[in-house]
Structure 1
Amino acid sequence: MLVLGLNGGIELPHEDLKVFGYGGIAHDSAAVLIKDGVVIAASEEERLNRVKHTGKAPLQTIHLCLKRLGITFADIDKVVITTREQETDLLVRDEFFYRDSMHRNTRELLVDFFYQIDGTKYDPNNIVFVDHHICHAASAHFMSGFDRSLTVTIDGESQEGYAGYIISAEGTSFKILDRIANENSLGSFYISVIRMLGYHQHDEYKVMGLAPYGDPSKFRRMLKKAYVLLPEGKFKINLAWSTVLFDFMTPRKKGGPITQEHKDLAASLQEALETIVMHILTHYQQATGHTKLSMAGGVAHNCSMNGKVLYAGLFDEVFVQPAAHDAGNALGGALYVSNKFEPNKSLEKLQHLYWGSEIEGNDGLAQILKRWERFVSFRKVDNIAEETAKRIAEGAVFGWVQGRAEFGPRALGNRSILADPRPAENKSIINEMVKKREGYRPFAPSILEEHVGDYYEMPQTKAPYSYMNFVLMTKEDKQPLLGAVTHVDGTARIQTVSKETNERYWELIEEFRKLTGVPILLNTSFNNNVEPIVDSEEDAIASFLTTNIHYLAIGDYMVDKKEVDKADYLHMVPTRLVNSELKKSIGYSADGTKRTLHEVRLHFGDKYKKAIPEEVFLMLEHSDGQKSLDELADELGGSALTKPEIAEHFIELWSLRLVHLRPSERVAALSAKL
């Protein structure tokens, strides 16, 4: 049986419409294909359309899933939508009345959408709608390998009106014990407070990393006024309370300096979240007698909280679904329907997350790299793990791209930036050369699973540590050794690496161990601060060239940068993104002077946009995917900008991922002949 799970909206890349998201905003689009209960392919749309947290239709991920088996929608037995039908129908009817849509319900809309993808007239009766939090629960319980578990989902909010479920799960049967209403949302509570720290939705993990620098006692009494713990594991949140903080602290503007006061609030907030979650878990563990816990929902990404759950010893085993956010609902929905229609199949325990795009073999990689030889040198090596480990031990920072991409928000050794975990200065070095992010945020260690107990304080509660889901204490005598991957409070968000599930990454760390005696590498996601984790070979090359990473190891190829100047970039071909637009607006300044603004922006809110000179605007307007920057500049003529200045503007737009730049194939072909 083939089941395709979908999460996100259905608007196309060039559209600003929002159809399926709660409050009109969709996010974390994804598609997951399951065959006979086994995951065949899975990816978030952001990896492919290159817009963080995109809520657009998961078009490219659908194509990825179908291509994996060489099938069409006609071969899919069930398509799963990760919310209830009545809620989506209300939104579709709003589209009918207010946006000139012809669709009267969700099934009509989806059948038309699928037809546009591959010409299949899909049977609307085979579209299945599954409650948002049931999808979260299914993703956790069915992937845990547990026969029975207390299954807890906690997030921001859902269209159905709930921000969490507490479930007693047994086999494929779910008994809902309680629901957390949107008005008592822990996710929304967390976001309401981090606004005081200059952060917003999707920045929660940053505040979690800031918390260890603060003193939770400073705001403890104040935060206790924001929630009430009630009997039987219940609680009540006053979401409006966070506005009171304006009178007791100095709110931080985005990008402003972080004071000790801000650190203290982060610590108090983290403590409050952990207090409420432990209140829930303690009651329901005692009430149900469950010895195993599985969790999902966006709040389950709080790995500091997850570590506290382990050390508390409430359960014998804990499983946190690694793609716990809404993208993971595509997985949960597909698993739920697969088990519903084939209940006698055994549940597959999660072994790994390498379900995404696969890079080319060595021959294909050679062709891709040759197109970029004006900018990079490359060579195939006999043992990529051995040579990479040697250079990392000597201080190099690597982009490491191998095999299939990971599903979920974390790089787990196939799309990673890697470095030596020992020198503490590597934290600031990588932040400056790649991430351009807050210096306080920690990096994660990838450690060979055979050695994890030698370096970290292991709780009695068992858990899979392969997915960076849990923060553990680094053993005191190891903390000075692991300066780059040990946080200020002596903790680390670890990832264990198994030879069985990722042999090449295991071999790399083993080679580093042979050289240094340390079976650990610093691992962070391969991206810069404006893009999702790289997916394709081209993504990796673009990120490599627009950051200060020293080397790229892709497949069996070692890649280095060449010395180039601005003139070399004039041979590049600019291409507008399909989800972008050029915008020209005419207005007035404060003194009444008429002014014209030119900008390029993506169709995903106002976060991704950049004001540009008129000359650059016109070049993008006339770009056809064939002409180089040099040719476009000559064609338009009369520019106030010099060609090096034009190249500089396009390099910046490329670094911001607002345009594509590719080597000119015509120039490359001519060079090859010469």
Structure 2
Amino acid sequence: MIILGIHTNHDASAALFDDYRMVSAVALERLTRIKSDGYRYPAEAVEECLAIAGLRREDVDVVALPRSEFAPKYFKRRAWWAKTKADGEGRLDLFRQMALHLGAAPDAIFDVALWLDDHGFAPSTRVHFYNHHDAHALGALFHTDWNDALLYTSDGYGDRVNASARLLKDGQLTALWGDDRDGLKLLGYEGARSSIGQLYLEVTAALGFKPLRHEGKVLGLAAWGKPVFAPELRANYTVDALGRTHGRMRLKDLRRRVHEMVKSAPREDVAASVQTVLEEVVLEAVGNILKNHPAKALGLAGGVFANVKLNQRLAERFPFQELFVYPAMSDAGIAAGGVLEFLLERDGLPSWLGHRYRFDTLYYGRDFDAEAEDAFRAAGAYAEYVGDPAAEAARRIADGAIVGTFLGAMEYGPRALGARSIMARATERSINDTLNKRLDRTEFMPFAPVVRIERYKEVFELPDSLVYPAQFMTTTCDVKPGWRDRVPAITHVDGTARPQLISRSQNAVYWDILDEYEKLTGLPVLINTSFNVHEEPIINAPAECVRALKDRRVDLVVTKGAIWSFAG
């Protein structure tokens, strides 16, 4: 069965499954080149996912859709469509309308046939409307082999819920709170004012950054400041015995107070304050849940868990055997989660659990290897080296070159993991300024490191519980004291780094470059940062890679069979 998941809000995306096997997954932004593109049907992402699989829309058996971002014409009565945006765009929580109309089925409210026809799907295509936080949580569970786990989600807001908790134990998956899939009840709903994710968004905006995009800058700033406002902000939130967060202030009052803080203190202090409160609230929430529902593992999803320092704190505080953050933790990941929800409802939990698999790689985009070399030559690029590029690339990096990788299929999720990465040596702190200047970036934390999985224990104090998520760069850990001065470019002021662990089976050329670099220098670590300039998405196609090389964003580009430049 071919199942297509679609997400239509910010960070719109599509994901295609052949039954339980993920075939392709692409964020709209990678194709349109507009950061966080969304709030519409992601036609380009849908077509890309189908093209990767060699399929057409007519081949799709099921479409998994969210509950909002539909035009009014798809609702059978105009009264069932709500104008909730000042600019007149329509957004509606479909299940909320179902609840208001006596538990009506989706097709009693929504014209499924018209939607399918307008978007080119066969009339026989089934449509499944998925729950936002259920989609988050199921992704964090499906790619594990756990039998005893807490699933905790947190974000700004989604389907009237800002957080949720579920428990897998004794073969049962139980929604503790935050689940409204039946549309008739809301467990733990209090709106945006109780959302710790919303607080972080408000601070991001008040500091002059773009919310839903620049929260990582706030995290970077936080290590440089003092949490002087943390007590005041923390007093706004209580966490009850079930682990639910409750906010006291109205959102507009909280927003006004945050702006006053920014005007009265260094921005580093405001950032440190909100980071401290985020950690305290989430740690208390998880701790309270565990008092009533002990669990051996923790699955995390939702935009809050893009905060890698928070994820480290959770692993340090609680003795989980393993912690896993769904790699596409933001809303870009719920297209896949929506498919998983459909499969769970179709087959039941025992079968669903039996089909689970752990992620090996996240290379679910298009593979351009067959056409990359022709694109480079057509643009006038010069193949400086032809053959296995690893040893030569390592030598050039050791000599100070900044090298981009264009290897196989693009990554799924927000992290560059070797397919579309920039590599550089980590031995000089000044490389951060050099790279930021060449990429037009303004960052407040060092670049992330990559290390072969066989060598991470020498450099990083990474607990066993974080080895799996560290393969996808979703957590920080402490850099061992003896290494902080040896690799200063990847060590933050607080002594942490956000490593990627890589095995050769995941990306042979990438792993081989690290291996050859260590043979030359004795150092197992290199910088890995995403292959993009400021405010652009990570590159996808050869044309974007060629432009970056021509614009001197990088000195060289490594493909599977050559090293390219415009110097020849």
2:357 to 332, 343, 348: 348
Residue 289 of structure 1, CA deviation: 1.5
Size of the aligned set, in residue pairs, is 525
Alignment partner, residue 365 of structure 1: 372
Amino acid at match of 2:138: A
Residue 74 of structure 1, CA deviation: 2.8
**CA contact 1:85–1:106 (8 Å) conserved in 2:** no
**CA contact 2:441–2:533 (8 Å) conserved in 1:** no
**CA contact 1:428–1:439 (8 Å) conserved in 2:** no
**Does the C-alpha gap of structure 1 residues 471 and 42 become closer, same or farther in structure 2, counting only changes over 3 Å?**
same
Residue 170 of structure 1, CA deviation: 4.8
Amino acid at match of 1:62: V
d(CA) in 1 for partners of 2:344, 2:506: 25
1:243 to 250, 253, 256: 256
**Does the C-alpha gap of structure 1 residues 95 and 443 become closer, same or farther in structure 2, counting only changes over 3 Å?**
farther
**Does the C-alpha gap of structure 1 residues 248 and 532 become closer, same or farther in structure 2, counting only changes over 3 Å?**
closer
SS of the equivalent of 2:455 reads: helix
Alignment partner, residue 121 of structure 1: 122
The 5 Å alignment of 1:191-270 reads 191-201=201-211, 202-216=213-227, 218-237=228-247, 238=249, 239=251, 240-250=253-263, 261-270=266-275
d(CA) in 1 for partners of 2:66, 2:538: 24
Residue 70 of structure 1, CA deviation: 2.1
**CA contact 1:473–1:491 (8 Å) conserved in 2:** yes
Deviations 1:94-143 (A, max 9, x none): 89899999x9835244312331xxxx43325x111111111101111111
Deviations 1:592-615 (A, max 9, x none): xxxxxxxxxxxxxxxxxxxxxxxx
SS of the equivalent of 1:241 reads: helix
SS of the equivalent of 1:74 reads: helix
**Does the C-alpha gap of structure 1 residues 529 and 92 become closer, same or farther in structure 2, counting only changes over 3 Å?**
farther
Q: Which blocks of at least 5 consecutive residues in structure 2 are unaligned?
A: 91-106, 179-187
**CA contact 1:296–1:320 (8 Å) conserved in 2:** yes
d(CA) in 2 for partners of 1:553, 1:153: 38
**CA contact 1:219–1:264 (8 Å) conserved in 2:** yes
SS of the equivalent of 2:368 reads: coil
Q: Which has the higher contact order (CA 8 A, sep 6+)?
A: 2
1:330 correspondence with 2:331 = no
Alignment partner, residue 11 of structure 1: none
**CA contact 2:361–2:506 (8 Å) conserved in 1:** yes
Alignment partner, residue 285 of structure 2: 280
Alignment partner, residue 660 of structure 1: none
Residue 497 of structure 1, CA deviation: 0.4
**CA contact 2:52–2:365 (8 Å) conserved in 1:** no
1:112 correspondence with 2:117 = yes
Alignment partner, residue 423 of structure 2: 418
**Does the C-alpha gap of structure 1 residues 440 and 86 become closer, same or farther in structure 2, counting only changes over 3 Å?**
closer
SS of the equivalent of 2:46 reads: helix
Amino acid at match of 2:508: E
Alignment partner, residue 4 of structure 2: 4
**Does the C-alpha gap of structure 1 residues 71 and 232 become closer, same or farther in structure 2, counting only changes over 3 Å?**
closer
Amino acid at match of 2:173: F
Alignment partner, residue 178 of structure 1: 177
Query: Which deviates more, 313-322 or 274-283?
Result: 313-322
d(CA) in 2 for partners of 1:416, 1:52: 17
Residue 164 of structure 1, CA deviation: 1.4
**Does the C-alpha gap of structure 1 residues 78 and 250 become closer, same or farther in structure 2, counting only changes over 3 Å?**
same
Alignment partner, residue 148 of structure 1: 148
Query: Which deviates more, 50-59 or 395-404?
Result: 50-59
**CA contact 2:549–2:565 (8 Å) conserved in 1:** no
1:51 to 34, 38, 42: 34
Q: Which has the larger radius of gyration?
A: 1
**Does the C-alpha gap of structure 1 residues 381 and 172 become closer, same or farther in structure 2, counting only changes over 3 Å?**
farther
Q: Which blocks of at least 5 consecutive residues in structure 1 are unaligned?
A: 9-25, 252-259, 564-674
Alignment partner, residue 473 of structure 1: 478
Residue 72 of structure 1, CA deviation: 2.1
Alignment partner, residue 448 of structure 1: 452
Residue 484 of structure 1, CA deviation: 0.7
**Does the C-alpha gap of structure 1 residues 291 and 371 become closer, same or farther in structure 2, counting only changes over 3 Å?**
same
**CA contact 2:369–2:559 (8 Å) conserved in 1:** no
1:72 correspondence with 2:56 = yes
**Does the C-alpha gap of structure 1 residues 437 and 164 become closer, same or farther in structure 2, counting only changes over 3 Å?**
same
Alignment partner, residue 13 of structure 1: none
**CA contact 1:311–1:460 (8 Å) conserved in 2:** no
d(CA) in 2 for partners of 1:225, 1:210: 22
SS of the equivalent of 1:511 reads: helix
d(CA) in 2 for partners of 1:178, 1:91: 32
2:320 to 295, 315, 321: 315
**Does the C-alpha gap of structure 1 residues 554 and 94 become closer, same or farther in structure 2, counting only changes over 3 Å?**
farther
Amino acid at match of 1:122: P
Amino acid at match of 1:152: Y
Alignment partner, residue 42 of structure 1: 25
**Does the C-alpha gap of structure 1 residues 74 and 294 become closer, same or farther in structure 2, counting only changes over 3 Å?**
same
Amino acid at match of 1:512: Y
Residue 473 of structure 1, CA deviation: 0.4
Amino acid at match of 1:298: G
Alignment partner, residue 573 of structure 1: none
* Percent sequence identity over aligned pairs: 29
**CA contact 1:457–1:474 (8 Å) conserved in 2:** yes
Residue 45 of structure 1, CA deviation: 1.2
